[in-house]
Structure 1
């Protein structure tokens, strides 16, 4: 493998050797003082370390609150009215609805010289819906966060985080 940098003292092909200054200095009977000059390079080293600047402690507290829950409830009541009919019919009528009244036929067989179907009465049933407001005591739980911070000097600072919404629950 050839040298990447040719030696200046080596003779070139077909040429005579030319004296170089280094050769002249070496051939001189006087001593030459050599001085070494150091080459200095600086390097930067970057490092990271963790430093504790404080502590944070978070805890939750659950409070219970007694409140009255408001609601509307519905209750259905029925009223039954007996309507006498006493009419002879061939077949029994079906249960039917007339507006908000349900009509239930009541039949009876009566013994005559012949047997006949007699509609004795009808029951008229009406529905009434009543709405009343009720109050029921309930126990609700709410949580809040207590945050304690301690800085690097050891001083404690308390932050209390309130719930975002203090409105009562929807009805």
Structure 2
């Protein structure tokens, strides 16, 4: 470096270097880029429901007995039959089983069909279009 060149630094002079610091600021912002809506639709449909109608009745059977007994007895069951004793006092003051009433249950079943109204819901998902209208999104 020659003394005649004014742009050359003087070795005797201190050199100043600038110190630079960069700062980064990161942030977020919310921007709407689209919209979805979900509607739940309730649909009704009729369906045939088959259910047997069960009916129970009692058959009364009177069985004459005429048997003397020492003391009365409470009603009792013989299998599915309820036996209800009926007593009568006679003049001698002895107890005679006059008759038994036997009650038999009979059950009948008749097929029955009736239409009932059932409801089912389905969800419809729609996306807002650029023109502001709504279009259903494919379920697949």
Check if 1:87 corresponds to 2:49. Answer: no
Please tell me whether residue 109 in structure 1 is matched to residue 89 in structure 2. yes
Question: Partner residue of 1:159?
Answer: 137
Find the residue that maps to 1:54 and give its secondary structure: coil
RMSD, matched Cα: 2.6
2:5 is equivalent to residue 40 of structure 1: no
Give the unaligned 5+ runs of structure 2.
1-11
Structure with more of its chain in helix, by fraction: 1
Q: TM-score scaled by structure 2?
A: 0.74
Equivalent-residue separation in structure 2 for 1:126 and 1:67 (angstroms): 38
Output the TM-score relative to the length of structure 1: 0.62
Paired residue for 1:78? 58
Q: Secondary structure at the match of 1:49?
A: coil
Shift of 1:85: 0.9
CA distance in 2, matches of 1:141, 1:87: 65
- Distance in 1 (alpha carbons) for counterparts of 2:138 and 2:84: 67
Change (3 A) 1:35 1:77: same
1:59 to 28, 34, 39: 39
Q: Which residue matches 1:142?
A: 120
Q: Which has the higher contact order (CA 8 A, sep 6+)?
A: 2
Aligned-residue offset at 1:90: 2.2
Q: How many residues align?
A: 128
2:103 to 122, 125, 133: 125
